[in-house]
Amino acid sequence: MSTTSVTAAHHHHHDTEATIVYGFWIYIMSDCILFASLFATFIVLHANTFGGPGPKELFSLPYVLVETFLLLASSFTYGLGLLSAFKQKQAQVIRFLLLTFILGLSFVLMEVNEFAHLVMEGHSWKSNAFLSSFFTLVGTHGFHVTMGLIWMLSMMIQVKRHGLVRITLRKLTTLSLFWHFLDIVWIFVFTIVYLMELI
Amino acid sequence: MAHTNHGEVLDIEFGNDHGSVKSYIHGFILSLVLTIIPFAVVSQHWFTTGVTYAIVAIFAVAQLCVQLVYFLHLSYKSSARWNLYVFLFTFLVVLIVILGSLWIMVNLNYFMMH
C-alpha cells in the first residue's frame, strides 16, 4: 500500500466517523424538539391541579438540588473519561465511566424514589393535568438517562474487550453528546418545573 | 501497521473538539455556581416575584451557554460549525413550539373568559 492510499483511507474513515457523529447530533436536535413540546405542555397545564395540591406542597427544592449536583458531576466525570479515551488510557476510561454510571444511577434512583412517594401519597399522573404533564416531562428525561446508563454499561464492556479503537472512540463521542444533552435538558427541568413553580 | 493505526486514532476528532481537563474543570465550577445562585434566590426570597423569575431565567440561559461551550464544545471553529448551525436552527424551532403554544393557549383562555 502506498503512503497516499493509506492517508486517503485514513481520511475516508475519519470522514465516515465524523458523519456518524454529526448524524447523531441531528438526532439529539430532534430530541430537543420532543422535549420542547413536553415543556410547552407542562407550562400550559401547570396550574390545572383540579383542586389538588400544587407544586409548592409536593416538591422539595433541596432534594432536587442534590439530583442536579449528581447530574452535573456525572457530566464532568464523563468529559474527563472522554479525554482519557483520546489519550488511550484504557483503565482510566473505565474508571471514569464507572464513576459516571454510579452518579447517573443515583440520580435515577432519587427520581424513582420521588415518583414513588408522590404516587403512594395519591398524587399520580391520573390525578390532574398538572401531574400528567409533570410525570410525562420528568419521566421522559429519566427514561433517557436510564437508556444512557445502559449504553454506558455496554461501552465499559466494549472498551474492555476491543480497547480504544476507532469505533469505540466514536461511540464514546456520541454517548458524550447524549449525556451532556441530558444534563442541559435537566437544567431546564430544574428551572421551569421546580424553581419557577416554587417562587 | 498496527502502530500507525494507533497513532492515527489519536488525532481523530470526529468533527468534535473534545476540550481539555482545564476547560472541563472551568465548565463544572461555572455550572455549579450557576445552579446554586438561582436555588438560593428562590429559597431565600431575597427579591420580589417578578425579579426572581427574571433572575432564574437569566441563570438558566447562562447555564445553557456554559454547557454548550465547555461540555459540548460548540463554536465557530470549522470542526464544530455545522453542529452549531443545526443547533441554532433547532433553537429557533424550540422557541416557535414553546412560545407559539403559549400564545395560542393564552388567547384561548382569554376568549373563554370574555
Cα torsion angle, B27, B28, B31, B37, sign: negative
Instruction: Please state the domain count of chain A.
Output: 1
Q: Is residue A108 part of a domain?
A: yes
ipTM: 0.90
**Cβ neighbours of residue A163 under 8 Å, at least 6 residues apart?**
A90
Mean pLDDT of A62-76: 98
Give pTM, 2 decimals. 0.91
Calculated CA dihedral for residues A71, A74, A79, A83, nearest 10 degrees:
180
Q: Is residue B112 part of a domain?
A: no
User: Which has more pLDDT, B81 or A5?
Assistant: B81
Indicate the average pLDDT of chain A.
94
Band (pLDDT 50/70/90 cuts) for residue A5 is low
pLDDT tens track for A132-177: 999 999 999 999 999 999 999 999 999 999 999 999 999 999 999 9
Counting as low any pLDDT under 50, the low residues of chain B are 1-11
Whether A198 and chain B come into contact, CB under 8 Å, resolves to: yes
Q: Is residue A6 part of a domain?
A: no
Owning domain of residue B43: 19-72
**Cβ neighbours of residue A96 under 8 Å, at least 6 residues apart?**
A77, A78, A80, A81, A84
| Closest CA relative to residue A36, chosen from A180, A173, A184, A174 | A184
Q: Is residue B27 part of a domain?
A: yes
Q: Is residue B45 part of a domain?
A: yes
Q: Is residue B62 part of a domain?
A: yes
pLDDT at residue number B10? 42
**Which percentage of chain A shows pLDDT scores above 70?**
93
Q: Is residue B1 part of a domain?
A: no
Q: Is residue B5 part of a domain?
A: no
Q: From the CA of A10, how many Å to the nearest CA of chain B?
A: 8
pLDDT at residue number A8? 60
CATH number, domain at A54? 1.20.120.80
Q: Is residue A11 part of a domain?
A: no
pLDDT at residue number B17? 67
Say if the Cβ atoms of A33 and B93 lie within 8 Å: yes
pLDDT at residue number A151? 98
Whether B44 and chain A come into contact, CB under 8 Å, resolves to: no
B52 CB neighbours in chain A (<8 A) are 199
Chain A from 158 to 197: CB within 8 A of any B CB:
164-166, 169-170, 173, 176-177, 180-181, 183-184, 187-188, 190-192, 195-196
Chain B from 11 to 30: CB within 8 A of any A CB:
12-16, 18-21, 24-25, 27-28
Q: Is residue A94 part of a domain?
A: yes
Q: Is residue A10 part of a domain?
A: no
B56 CB neighbours in chain A (<8 A) are 191, 195-196, 199
Q: Is residue B84 part of a domain?
A: no
Whether B113 and chain A come into contact, CB under 8 Å, resolves to: no
Owning domain of residue A36: 23-198
Strands (E), chain A: none
Instruction: Please state the domain count of chain B.
Output: 1
Band (pLDDT 50/70/90 cuts) for residue A3 is low
Q: Is residue A124 part of a domain?
A: yes
Say if the Cβ atoms of B19 and A17 lie within 8 Å: no
